[in-house]
Chains A and B, each alone.
Chain A
Amino acid sequence: MFGRGRGGEAAGAAGRVVPLDPDRSLVTAAQVDPARFDALYRKYLAQVYSFAYHELGNHHEAEDVTERTFLLALDALPRFREQAPDEAGPEASTFRVWLLRIARNTIANQRRTLRRHPATRLDAVGEAAAPDDPERAVLARADASAAWAAVARLPGDRRRAVVLRFVEEMSTAEIAGVLGRSEGSVRVLLHRALRTVARDLGERGETP
């Protein structure tokens, strides 16, 4: 779906056509009646949860982050404004980008809390990995693939960029919005991440 985005008159004047937010009608309905937020919740639950799980490597922590992300999003929804990329730069936002940006910040807060107050739940005793250590978490899983482990060994934003690209199937522009970086920088992040994964798999005797 393409057209001139809201607030995109300047971009339109320059002849640029920017993609519309496919969730615009759902967002507008939820802004009028918060009970309609349920449709957005059902649509993006798996994406937010999956992103949190890949970052934290623990189902319980992923559930906590998912819950807080959606509660924050519902509370802040009246203030959400779709912004065209040309105008807003790193602040450009469709609903999905805005939501995953909230998730990213919530995950960062969760990590800080876990570092300050490490705690082990009784039902998580079997999980040897610390929730704030995705590499150990992934390696601890019996079904972890070599490719998965290679991704978990990547540094912060490279790992997030790979997860958003391959798992959430986001475009480079969307990832730039979530990570607060330029598109060019995200392309380089992804390129370097793939190179590292290829080398890692090669060194471990895996066919990349």
Chain B
Amino acid sequence: MTTPATLDSIEIEALVTDRYLDALLAAAERRPPDAPGDPAPDPALDPALRSAALRLRDELVRVHPSFRFEERLARRLAEAAAGMRLATAVGGEGTLLPFPGAALDTARPVPRRPLLFGGAVTSAALGLAGAAFVAWRRTRGAPTDPMARAIRLARAARAVRDGTATELH
């Protein structure tokens, strides 16, 4: 069973070990290839732990992948990066820039659906108004504006003069 006292002692021992490992690995970086590179340990450090740490430092080495794998993955990453650049270029990850002098509230949600409905209603209303105007123009008699009346009179006078009409309105 772990009591608070034993927990404290483990933590203290762990701190001592950690300090030794810091010194050991730092010394390994600085030392010439054949030098032992073992820093003076804290007397509180268990000699068995110290020996185990020295062996692990010497025997645990980094493993490198093959050159062929390295270059193949580099090409794959370059292709993926090119795809990301393309996506950015077409605006996939673009941001809105404020127009000088205008406040840009990007936090406000864009009212997509109301705008769509508004556009549809406006379009239908314009269509109905157009149809009503055409119908009105067809049911309406001769135009009443002065220019149209003058043209009509001139045409009628010419018809009388030519004898093609019997009545002058």
Contacts and interface: CB of A to CB of B under 8 A. Distances in A.
Interface of A: 33-35, 37-38, 41-42, 45-47, 49-50, 53-54, 59, 62-63, 66-67, 70-71, 74-75, 78, 145, 147-148, 151, 162-163, 165-169, 171-172, 184, 187-188, 190-192, 194-195, 197-199, 201-202, 207-208
A191 B10 contact: yes
Contact of B21 (A70, A163, A190): A190
A148 B59 contact: yes
A147 B60 CA distance: 8
A205 B80 CA distance: 52
A78 B93 CA distance: 10
A151 B46 CA distance: 19
A66 B65 CA distance: 10
Given A45-B73, A147-B52, A187-B11, 20 more contacts: A34-B85, A42-B74, A46-B65, A59-B65, A66-B65, A74-B77, A75-B84, A147-B59, A148-B59, A151-B56, A163-B60, A167-B61, A172-B18, A184-B14, A187-B15, A190-B17, A191-B18, A199-B48, A201-B52, A201-B55
Contacts of A199: 48
B50 to A, nearest CB: 9
B56 A162 contact: yes
B103 interface: no
Contact of B77 (A37, A46, A165, A169): A37
Nearest first, the 10 A-B pairs at minimum CB distance are A34-B81, A191-B14, A198-B52, A187-B14, A198-B48, A166-B60, A208-B51, A34-B84, A147-B59, A49-B65
Given A34-B85, A35-B78, A166-B57, A63 B65 contact: yes
Contact of A197 (B56, B73, B78, B81): B56
A188 B65 contact: no
Interface in B43-73: 46, 48-49, 51-53, 55-57, 59-65, 69-70, 73
B63 A70 contact: no
9 contacts: A34-B80, A35-B81, A45-B65, A67-B76, A187-B15, A194-B17, A194-B53, A194-B56, A195-B49
B42 interface: no
Interface residues of B, number: 40
User: Most B CB atoms within 10 A — which of A46, A145, A194?
Assistant: A194
A208 B62 contact: no
A63 B59 contact: no
Nearest to A163: B60
B48 A74 contact: no
Contacts of A198: 46, 48-49, 51-52
Contacts of B78: 35, 38
A165 B22 CA distance: 9
B73 to A, nearest CB: 5
B52 A197 contact: yes
A208 B49 CA distance: 8
A50 B56 contact: no
Contacts of A208: 48, 51-52, 55
Contact of B60 (A37, A151, A171): A151
